[in-house]
Amino acid sequence: MATFRFFDIYSSTVQPNVKADKDISEDLYKHTNPRTLDVYADLVLVFKYEQPTLKGATISKAEYEKKTLAAYQEVLTNLTRVGLQYESRPSGSDTLLIFILCPWAVLKREVTRASINDWLAGVKVADTSETEQLLQPAKERDQSLDHVTESDRLRLISDLITTLPSEGGAGIHPSHHDYVQSILPLHDKAFNKSWLKSWSKKVIVNEQDLSRVRDHFGEKIAYYFEFLQYYLQWLAAPTALGVLVHFFGSSFSIFYGVFVIIWAAFFTETWKRREKELALLWKVQNASKTEMRRPSFKGTMTADPVTGDMVPFFSPWKRWTRKMLGIPIVFGGALALATVISAVFGIEVFLTIYYDGYLKEYLIYAPMVLYSLAIPNVAAVCKSVAQRLTEYENYETRGSHEYHLMQKVFIFNALTSYMSILLTAYVYIPYGPQIISTFQAYGLSFSSATIDPHMLQNRLKAFMITTQAISFATETIVPWLTRRAKVQAVKIQKEVAEKLHRDTHEDGSLTVLEDSEDAKKFLKRVKKQADLPEYDVNEDYAEMVLQFGYVSLFSVIWPLTGLCAFINNWVELRSDAAKISYNARRPIPSRTDTIGPWLDNLQHIAWFSSLTNASILYLFHGTIDSADSHGPRLGLGILLLTLLVSEHAYLALRMVVGLILDSIPTEAELDVRRREFGVKRSWLSRLGDAVGISSVGGINGLAKRAEEIVDLSAQLENDFGVQAIRSNLKTN
């Protein structure tokens, strides 16, 4: 009965392996608690190769086998070179699962290296004892790794695998290897179950719950859930006021519109403060400075102006030139997407409102079909163009690459989400009658239809309700149904699963071994996890930021927008936890000190809300029950003046709020100052004798030295200056 080589370690029984392998050291996992087969390995590398076909083959089967074996051996060699241990198992006819395990000594080495890099980059304040530990020989350092969280451990091991060989890593990255399909950590079933059970019973998630997420999934995922929780709490105000205005106030309320602008300014500025506070609390400030170089980064070797080391360098001027060249392309893509959306919108309005001819009951569905066929394809092309442009701009780190990519993609997402409402508010309702009159002048007949702001409200309702319902279904229900269907399909296609694995003897003969039941169940679970889609937190950020746009830009149209967002986000907080646990691979932990480009997007939307709220109120306030749907006819000049005043008032408010918040230090900032002062005072106390200060206590120590100097003033009685002063100022 076969089992995994390292499985005995979990039962505290260490046995030597076959002669081809090294003996396993008992300290392989002494930095962790004993674990079950569910989390057997630190990471799993999926090695995928295709079965060659004879038809149209450009390479013989023997050559392909040789090439595949060489690539496989290269992966194993690179893993071994950096000190990692591994074990491979087949999964299907064209996939190998390489279970990667990091020995304790290797992990300790990476922790020490990361601590030094953090200290140099200013990620955390290291006191004198920590610094001395880092400077001591390895044998004399504190060997404990109790402070290393699960997320830190997996992040360091992943960095060791994917970092370029020139920087001390194995250089294995899925995006730059033909055979490596993915690298993933295994889900911890016990943690996922406890996580979902805990959050499902709570109305509000507390700091301790979010800290657990951070320790398990890393700061990048924790930042998202912290933002979602923070945004949910801030939505309470527009939700409550929106309900009151909707049921007891007037439509297109000026008071509610002004409140939303103020709310958006306060939310973005306070989140910016909260973001910095979290970076200090989690000790990840300046974490972006320690990011590893992207494998696809291309630069010329140049001496670093600070350290003198030879490093790849790409001129910022070249990058800016490339960015300037990309601006017309992005603008063209946005224009093409806007044109398609406008065309579909025009067809929809014509068929659903004005057309009263043959087959109308069927033609009214044509815009939906056109939208589902055209918009996703155009958006996909735009996203592909954005990816190519960002790659062409050649950013050094993954964080900077991701930032600029998301900025481009968000432009297309915003157009797709908001264009229809903007067209309704600023084109169709104000100018619809004139457009229809123009067509009628050319002999085209249209059925009569009433154009009023109710159409704008109905469109926003449809977006808020149907869009969020579809999003929930695609994130939770559809993946569950897909997995169930896939399991049934596999059962039908394979009546008997592969039960045998091959193991090679020293003489080269093959012996067929049957896995133990535990091993077979474990491999089945790993295969399921490897087949899951990769989790991308940016997709969830985009969903929340776009929703923030609906609330801040358009909720003056329908005040219950905030209520819809509040309910959705309460569910989203828990459904996203379930999505990560069951519908996606476990994400590799990543450090960050910000939510990245999404803060800028929030601020841009908040600024734009000062324009949309002012213009919508100008156009539609007081007209909901009036026959005149165009609003007060005050002219373009008054509209522009309204927009100018609203925008400048918003900018002034945001500046004042930012200045006030910056002037009030958070408790995390005070804690950092205390630690920095403690470090400096500790070093001064050690250097006190060298600088002539016998008792160092900051300012007090210098004052004592000054007192000693004052005590010597008696020796200056015979000084000429003293005698002159006394002589000139002597009174009779």
Q: Which residue has the higher pLDDT, 154 or 718?
A: 154
Query: Residue 24 and residue 18: Cα distance in Å, rounded?
Result: 11
Write down the pLDDT at residue 510.
42
Write down the pLDDT at residue 443.
64
Q: What is the pLDDT of residues 655-693, one digit of tens each?
A: 999 999 988 888 888 888 888 788 777 777 777 655 555
Query: Which residues are within 8 A (CB) of 205 and not within 5 positions of it... i.e. 6 or more apart?
Result: 199, 225, 229, 573
Report the DSSP pairing between strands 43-48 and 180-184. Answer: antiparallel
Identify the CA nearest to 416 among candidates 514, 345, 506.
345
**pLDDT above 80 (res 221):** yes
Write down the pLDDT at residue 32.
42
Query: Which residues are within 8 A (CB) of 501 and not within 5 positions of it... i.e. 6 or more apart?
Result: 2, 89, 90, 512, 513, 514, 515
Confidence of residue 483 (pLDDT cuts 50, 70, 90): low
Q: Which two tokens stand for residue 700?
A: 């007090």
Confidence of residue 183 (pLDDT cuts 50, 70, 90): very high
Q: What is the mean pLDDT of residues 624-629?
A: 52
Four-residue CA torsion sign, 52, 54, 58, 61:
positive
**pLDDT above 90 (res 231):** yes
Lowest mean pLDDT among 137-146, 275-284, 546-555: 137-146
Report the DSSP pairing between strands 180-184 and 310-313. Answer: unpaired
Residue % of the chain over a pLDDT of 90: 35
Write down the pLDDT at residue 378.
86
Write down the pLDDT at residue 405.
94
Query: Residue 574 and residue 475: Cα distance in Å, rounded?
Result: 12
Chain centroid, CA 358 distance in Å:
50
Residue % of the chain over a pLDDT of 70: 77
Query: Residue 688 and residue 698: Cα distance in Å, rounded?
Result: 10
Write down the pLDDT at residue 407.
93
Write down the pLDDT at residue 506.
46
Chain centroid, CA 378 distance in Å:
25
Write down the pLDDT at residue 512.
42
Q: What is the pLDDT of residues 101-123, one digit of tens each?
A: 998 889 989 998 888 888 888 87
Q: What is the mean pLDDT of residues 157-186?
A: 89
Identify the CA nearest to 412 among candidates 370, 371, 379.
379
Q: What is the pLDDT of residues 502-558, one digit of tens each?
A: 444 444 444 444 556 777 778 888 888 998 999 999 999 999 999 999 999 999 999
